[in-house]
């Protein structure tokens, strides 16, 4: 099968799942549906776009509501629950793209509602960066992706520049404190109270940052755009040096013996390909991402699952074995990585 055919198998599985289950708007599910939308637009597949539109429509009919704690929102099967957990903001990722197709004014209101919450109410750490969630007063690479592109999209949809201004503020804070010393890559998390950082450079965490930079390139002020593009080039130069002979990357990128993981490589492919479409020269990208697809191929199942995707991290890297203690399997963020990578080839 070609890369496209592998992705379509995964997309077809996701379309069936949206018909048979109540898929919530949490971060992994939002990423998967964003990928389905982008692949549908790329291939003119109306079934994919309609599946996303129906999913969003069902949740918008359930209403926009703020919840006191992230756990309160996990059982919301219809509606858009907004909490202090950045993952609850994930549906903003597809608001602008879907609005370009449907012109649904409810998407503008959703972007305004979530954007206002993030700017005006979301909790912050002592260094003014957004908390990952109210329970964890740390900065996270995950928060970078689930806040900044959505805020930029909210600014574009509503015409209110306060969302973009906060996005640029959060980008500066997170890149400063998550940067790995002597490297162009990033730690997953940083505790402003103790100075503690997560060990090494987690693969998918660097995927979140690379995706953020690629998505906002050419959508931010000129001086920031220049920094974004330079950072993307530097990141990929180092990432390519860490690619394994089988085309994959380790879940802790620089650590020998850390297991090979599938989602981070496809997120790198999405970010790198998108960046190149925006004029960023990323050397060796085509061959590197072809090798990534080849290395990922054995982990696709016949019924449209991608395996060998690392599970949720939270702070589990603090356990013995760090990231290697996190189990792998089929996860919605793995689905999203496949679809986004195929959509930007």
Q: Pinpoint the alpha helices (H) of the chain.
A: 3-20, 27-43, 46-62, 95-102, 105-120, 141-158, 162-178, 203-216, 222-241, 262-277, 285-296, 332-343
Q: Is residue 316 predicted with pLDDT exceeding 90? A: no
What is the number of other CB atoms lying within 10 angstroms of the CB of residue 172?
14
Q: Where are the domains of the chain?
A: 3-343
Q: How far apart are CA 260 and CA 281, in angstroms?
A: 27
What is the number of other CB atoms lying within 10 angstroms of the CB of residue 241?
10
> Residues 172-220: pLDDT tens digits?
999 999 999 999 999 999 999 999 999 999 999 999 999 999 999 999 9
> Residues 228-286: pLDDT tens digits?
999 999 999 999 999 999 999 999 999 999 999 999 999 999 999 999 999 999 988 88
- Assigned CATH topology for domain 3-343: Glycosyltransferase (1.50.10)
Q: How far apart are CA 60 and CA 94, in angstroms?
A: 13
Q: How far apart are CA 189 and CA 141, in angstroms?
A: 6
Quote the pLDDT of residue 77: 86
> Residues 64-97: pLDDT tens digits?
999 988 888 777 889 999 999 999 999 999 999 9
Q: Is residue 306 predicted with pLDDT exceeding 80? A: yes
């Amino acid at each position: 099968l070609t890369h496209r055919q592998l992705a379509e198998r995964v997309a077809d599985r996701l379309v069936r799942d949206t018909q048979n289950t109540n898929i919530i708007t949490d971060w992994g599910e939002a990423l998967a549906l964003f990928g389905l939308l982008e692949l549908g637009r790329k291939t003119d597949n109306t079934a994919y776009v309609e599946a996303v539109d129906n999913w969003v429509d069902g949740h918008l009919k359930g209403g926009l509501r703020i919840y006191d704690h992230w756990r309160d929102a996990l059982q919301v099967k219809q509606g858009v629950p907004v909490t202090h957990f950045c993952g609850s903001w994930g549906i903003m990722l597809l608001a602008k793209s879907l609005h370009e197709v449907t012109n649904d004014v409810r998407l503008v209101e959703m972007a305004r509602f979530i954007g206002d919450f993030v700017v005006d109410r979301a909790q912050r750490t002592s260094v003014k960066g957004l908390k990952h969630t109210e329970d964890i007063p740390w900065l996270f690479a995950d928060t970078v992706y689930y806040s900044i592109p959505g805020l930029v999209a909210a600014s574009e949809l509503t015409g209110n520049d306060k969302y973009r201004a906060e996005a640029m503020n959060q980008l500066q804070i997170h890149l400063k404190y998550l940067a790995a010393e002597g490297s162009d890559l990033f730690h997953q998390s940083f505790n402003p109270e103790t100075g503690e950082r997560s060990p090494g450079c987690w693969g998918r965490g660097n995927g979140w940052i690379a995706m953020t930079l690629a998505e906002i390139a050419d959508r931010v002020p000129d001086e920031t755009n220049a920094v974004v593009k330079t950072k993307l080039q530097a990141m990929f130069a180092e990432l390519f040096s860490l690619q394994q002979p089988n085309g994959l990357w380790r879940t802790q990128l620089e650590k020998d013996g850390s297991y090979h993981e599938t989602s981070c490589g496809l997120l790198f492919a999405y970010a790198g390909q998108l960046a190149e479409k925006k004029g960023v020269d990323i050397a060796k990208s085509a061959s590197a991402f072809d090798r990534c697809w080849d290395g990922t191929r054995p982990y696709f199942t016949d019924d449209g699952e991608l395996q060998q995707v690392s599970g949720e991290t939270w702070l589990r890297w603090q356990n013995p074995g760090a990231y290697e203690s996190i189990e792998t399997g089929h996860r919605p963020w793995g689905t999203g990585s496949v679809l986004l990578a195929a959509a930007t080839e």
